[in-house]
Structure 1
């Protein structure tokens, strides 16, 4: 009997074997050994690689698993190297202003406020018949105005268009946007239809605004009935085969559920409840307690963040008949044994932790859960600066905490990249915090790839997993071009009010700080083979040339690890990095790689 070869193995065994290949390069090499194995890899193995190495960031479906694997592996390396290009963004170029649909040459930021506007963000992307064909939509608020960008990519071509909407009677400081959501296209809906944005305002407005991509001059409006109560926060539930619902909290205590139907001109709430302040042990109502946030955990559960309270998280059931009037569960911020070993009051009882909850974020699903989420596990950010993981299936109050030993400022915003990384916006110092949620389990690591990606010393070292980034230039000497950018006026400290990313596969992260929006594009300028889905190879361009203004607008930020030594790192400019790499500077021998970081990072202001 002739000996069996690899190609004689059943497909199930081949699939099991390829699941142990650590990198996309190794799987590509495996596919080149024979025609039959190549066919197997193209049909099945790339999808297995995505599910096993990127279980929570790979898309549920993709037109090209091979190209998706390339995007996710390159993006994973950029995140581990902390390689990104940061810019301030605002409407410019092709701008259409509504109402009226007129074209404007230059966008004017809002004026008349005591401080700069507080941005609210949302973003999504849709993928075409090819992985490299996609449309990204970003929306943010600027005072009483909404700005929306559509960015279409077709291979190596990209086209961007901006839309703005500001009600004619809007008044800055009175009608400021307090909550914002982009409606995703429904299944089978044309990708060239109007972009729809839900906005809530401090003056009690709550509406769906449809901004047409055609030459129409009007923006369609659908109004939700609010009885004039100011909109504090909201959350949207958009199901592929179900109803789209909106939950919003009004004033300090009311929570309303609305159906979302842009075909209606006026939308009444399906149900509403009032969350009353909790009663303390002495029978008195808590003073100054209010609802800070509401969020859908699933189609049957809604979470409300209140405070200050020793039980600031309330979970409500949503049934076909409406919202249950009483929460079926309340969460405190510490477990019983933590409270028992904590501070003891004069009366001899352990003191409970009291705080307010701001953002609430359901944990994204993974491939092991079939791509669905039942909302049992969720994250919360609190005034005390601690991010907590809760599980409705557990009797414990808190399953895990994410804390920054170097800063305890309040958590204002949360964003998760699957179940791999958690990004948090803090209330002070323009500080963006990055936490590793893998708890030591690496599904994919760029260090398993070829040695050319290792540090020059050859040592297999990764930077610290948790780190902080200052979202303001460490030098306020830049002056941008186009659209009136003036970076010096935006360099003061701020809270990080909102965070958004089009998807867990996108290299773009957006952050809203006071009076500005920052875009972080995760890529390295020295990468000679960047992901062609999003980027082209960067080359220095002489000043005055076409690309010079884009290079000039890249910010130089600062960051540090969440460790005891707290070393400060700052970014070199693009030109300095290029010159050092290619030996065009007197200190060209300076090592560009610090503990596996991107080449732009330097220790402190070294070599400035």
Structure 2
């Protein structure tokens, strides 16, 4: 019998079980196995997480991590998504100046750069701290949320300018994480960049409503377009300026004024349009040129050394090869946490002017490995962000679209492995992974005195500018639109009694809409539109319905596939 085997063999067998529930069922089979599993619980679930969700660095609470990651995987397959706007509290702490004088009257809204992180600071999975920050024009908004036995939430609004204009808008923002704050967990360190060229490192304290400028990164008076910060123990900072030049800075230094240790200058024929730090030792620069549209270089103390150039003429683009629009690279995202990435900076995604997102591997002789495209959207992609181990999100430059793509790599975990054999047919009938979501609700004003920046009426049809995920195990994605931030929680309705119950307690849930994208090779199938029903209640009938369809129950098809009909019954196009 299994229970008679030595505990070492039982441990080895358990490491090959396909699901977290299999480990639980093993422990429930008899008293001896329960004792063995209980004694080695951390080892069992640590091995499960590391095997099924590789490259996922989580807290030491492995059993809870297995549960949370399994729930997120199921929510992604069922497209269980809950959306809501992130709005500051009325009693937020004000730091700096808040009776500033404005010298212009902007008609366009702000583009919010976003950053976030979460860390575990207690004795259970539930006890963790999440920090979210974004630039709201010239102001910085920051929320600190502690969950667990003593939940609390604090908001900060910061501004250090007496006289402001659109040149004071924040265009770069990076939280430096819990390690930078030292022993005082109340202080948050961050790097903030403004369009006029100010890049500073700040320490903000909510307890005494104070701030301190720690460092000033020298920019030679250039206007700033964006900033970037690499991952790792010794991150480097990049400043991309509006003339196309790029400055690189060390952040691990005691100097109050930090000079760039390297510059990437544009050529006389073109300026760099976009750049992204793939790691602390590698950078990708979009030049806008045809022959070396995307240039990947190594960053070292000795300077910048090009290692790979990818030209637009090597991408097999049909028709109009070399067209100026095709030579645009509008977004780049490294895939350093993926198990096939190897050293940081090897594998990354890039969004090109032909509306295609490409997967690149610097180690490969090919210009790209595979492509991802939404044939229904004519807009450029403004941002790309990895999600979990096998998907990524893309934000469109128009129509308020957030797109979910499957990376088409080997899937290491499938929640359907836990189903009984008679329900295994769901594997073929489940929802497509190619899905696009409309974030079309107009953002409410963040401040009562908000002026012309928020005069729009009706549905939002603008870009998705930025995205941020607090951690690789988080179920939340923060997305930046004009004048606001939308929180998307990947949580199935039947999980709201468990790890995702916080999503149900929060109010202001949006009614999202979306569509299944047809395969790029399918030129005849039309997109299938769906909208979410209202409410977050769940009952046994709804749960059975989800099992039958493979969809989260809130997604309702608008109509059967076929001709579009008006409410009066007339067929459009007849």
Partner of 1:444: 413
Distance 1:187 1:167, change over 3 A: closer
Q: CA deviation at 1:88?
A: 1.0
Q: Verify: 1:491 aligned to 2:482, yes or no.
A: no
Counterpart-to-counterpart distance in 2, 1:361 and 1:459: 30
Counterpart-to-counterpart distance in 2, 1:537 and 1:331: 43
Counterpart-to-counterpart distance in 1, 2:251 and 2:139: 21
Summarize the alignment of residues 141-156 of structure 1 with structure 2, pairs less than 5 Å apart.
141-155=135-149
User: Paired residue for 2:470, among 481, 497, 502?
Assistant: 502
Counterpart-to-counterpart distance in 1, 2:421 and 2:156: 44
Counterpart-to-counterpart distance in 1, 2:107 and 2:556: 37
Partner of 2:309: 330
Q: CA deviation at 1:275?
A: 2.6
Distance 1:529 1:316, change over 3 A: same
Partner of 2:357: 387
Q: CA deviation at 1:215?
A: 1.1
Distance 1:572 1:301, change over 3 A: same
Q: Verify: 1:266 aligned to 2:227, yes or no.
A: no
Q: CA deviation at 1:7?
A: 5.4
CA contact (8 A) 2:180 2:189 kept: no
Partner of 2:522: none
Summarize the alignment of residues 379-528 of structure 1 with structure 2, pairs less than 5 Å apart.
379-439=349-409, 441-450=410-419, 461-473=429-441, 489=457, 491-527=459-495
Counterpart-to-counterpart distance in 1, 2:545 and 2:359: 40
CA contact (8 A) 2:336 2:344 kept: no
CA contact (8 A) 2:238 2:248 kept: yes
Counterpart-to-counterpart distance in 2, 1:126 and 1:555: 28
Summarize the alignment of residues 216-231 of structure 1 with structure 2, pairs less than 5 Å apart.
216-231=209-224
Partner of 2:24: 28
Partner of 2:570: none
User: Paired residue for 2:501, among 519, 522, 535?
Assistant: 535
Partner of 1:85: 82
User: Paired residue for 1:317, among 295, 298, 302?
Assistant: 298
Cα shift readout 1:309-356 (whole Å, capped 9, x = no counterpart) = 4532111221222334xx2321124647x36xx4489xxxx9899421
Distance 1:344 1:468, change over 3 A: closer
SS at match of 2:21: helix
Q: Verify: 1:118 aligned to 2:111, yes or no.
A: yes
SS at match of 1:405: coil
SS at match of 1:62: coil
User: Paired residue for 2:337, among 344, 350, 365?
Assistant: 365
SS at match of 1:297: strand
Q: CA deviation at 1:408?
A: 3.5
CA contact (8 A) 1:301 1:375 kept: yes
Normalised to the residue count of structure 1, the TM-score between the two structures is: 0.81
Summarize the alignment of residues 150-299 of structure 1 with structure 2, pairs less than 5 Å apart.
150-155=144-149, 157-186=150-179, 189-190=182-183, 192-240=185-233, 243-260=234-251, 264-276=255-267, 285=269, 289-299=270-280
Counterpart-to-counterpart distance in 2, 1:490 and 1:111: 25
SS at match of 1:496: coil
Distance 1:8 1:230, change over 3 A: same
Cα shift readout 1:450-482 (whole Å, capped 9, x = no counterpart) = 469969x97863100111000123xx7x98999
Counterpart-to-counterpart distance in 1, 2:104 and 2:483: 10
SS at match of 2:23: helix
Counterpart-to-counterpart distance in 2, 1:335 and 1:295: 21
CA contact (8 A) 1:146 1:165 kept: yes
Distance 1:66 1:438, change over 3 A: farther
Where do 5+ consecutive residues of structure 2 fail to align? 519-524, 561-566, 568-574
Distance 1:110 1:597, change over 3 A: farther
Counterpart-to-counterpart distance in 1, 2:44 and 2:531: 41
Cα shift readout 1:379-408 (whole Å, capped 9, x = no counterpart) = 111232111111111111111111112224
> Cα RMSD between the aligned structures?
3.7
Distance 1:245 1:526, change over 3 A: same
CA contact (8 A) 2:282 2:298 kept: yes
Counterpart-to-counterpart distance in 2, 1:98 and 1:64: 36
CA contact (8 A) 2:437 2:515 kept: yes
Partner of 1:604: 558
CA contact (8 A) 2:439 2:460 kept: no
CA contact (8 A) 2:395 2:402 kept: yes
User: Paired residue for 2:133, among 124, 139, 152?
Assistant: 139
Counterpart-to-counterpart distance in 1, 2:554 and 2:109: 30
Partner of 2:48: 49
Partner of 2:572: none
Q: CA deviation at 1:493?
A: 0.5
Q: CA deviation at 1:193?
A: 4.3
Summarize the alignment of residues 544-555 of structure 1 with structure 2, pairs less than 5 Å apart.
550-551=506-507, 553-555=508-510
Q: How many residues align?
A: 548
CA contact (8 A) 1:122 1:140 kept: yes
Where do 5+ consecutive residues of structure 1 fail to align? 278-284, 539-546
